[in-house]
Structure 1
Amino acid sequence: MTRVLDSRKGLFYKARPLGAVVAALWTAVAAAEVVSGAQLPDGSQKVGENRYRAPGDFEKTLEYYKTVYPVSSYPRRAIVNQPGVKAVHISNPSGKNFEGLNIYEANDEVRLYVVPLQSAPGSGNKPVKKPEPKSGKKSR
């Protein structure tokens, strides 16, 4: 029994599962909100200045940020790891727009804090020097 390679059988394209996952992630990333240069998950709600409520649980939020800000380029460190409280800081090595992100979970709620840039010492806001008082001697 020989199989014909030039048959029209199987011409329909079947999407690969990995391609569907990548497309879904790309859509999620493309629809996300950007605040001060930091990307937030779609569905995040503002709760204060630079503070947002994430739509998913802590692990889901960390997975989202692994795709948006890869661990190899954006270092992470645990801030707190106590019973009932978890927190991770993601550093922004470029230093543009924001210093980093804090992701934390407390009271069954996941919050995000966009850490704003701190003004560097001596940049733009230099104190004005007062003229030094002259000595009490008068010159003649």
Structure 2
Amino acid sequence: MTRALDSLKGLFYKARPLGAAVAALWVSVAAAEVVNGAQIPDGSQKVGELRYRAPHDFEKTLEYYKSVYPASAFPRRSVVNQPGVKAVHIVNPSGRNFEGLNIYEANDEVRIYVVPLQAAPAPAKPAKKSEPKSGKKSR
């Protein structure tokens, strides 16, 4: 009597369609570029320091960021909503590596700006009076 677990039938595993879809999504997110800790969609073109041109339209870019940075953990706020211009700011609540992302559409282009951390100003050090090292006063 042969048990099902002892047979070679399980040797050839077929992936389920849902598993393949999840794996494809994971690969697309994992292939994204990371800039200062922020993910940039795959296929984006660098156009300046911390500025990128997104490969998709505004809505698809926002969908991408909804999957990468869920709205429940990364608050969003509308920056601009004028004719021809849309902009959304995604806040990085951890405050590590980057402050947030600005995603905006203008002139039929979607751009992404990684908002860098603002360097805290260094505390002012009190100026010391210079005294001669030998302890003698100079003339």
TM-score class, shorter: 0.7 to 0.9
User: Identity over aligned residues, as a percent?
Assistant: 73
Which structure 1 residue ranges, 5 or more long, are not aligned? 1-7, 133-140
The CA distance in 2 between the partners of 1:85 and 1:96, in whole Å, is 29
TM-score with structure 1 length normalisation?
0.78
Q: How many angstroms does 1:15 deviate by?
A: 2.5
Query: Partner residue of 1:30?
Result: 30
The CA distance in 2 between the partners of 1:129 and 1:12, in whole Å, is 71
3-state secondary structure, aligned to 1:19: helix
Q: How many angstroms does 1:14 deviate by?
A: 6.5
Which structure 2 residue ranges, 5 or more long, are not aligned? 1-8, 130-139
* Distance change in 2, residues 1:25/1:126 (3 Å): same
Which of 96, 113, 128 lines up with 2:125 in the alignment?
128
Matched length: 119
Report matched runs for 1:1-140 at 5 Å. Answer: 13=14, 15-16=16-17, 18-121=18-121, 125-130=122-127
Q: Which moved more, 1:109-118 or 1:24-33?
A: 24-33
Q: Which has the higher helix share?
A: 2
- Aligned CA-pair RMSD: 2.1
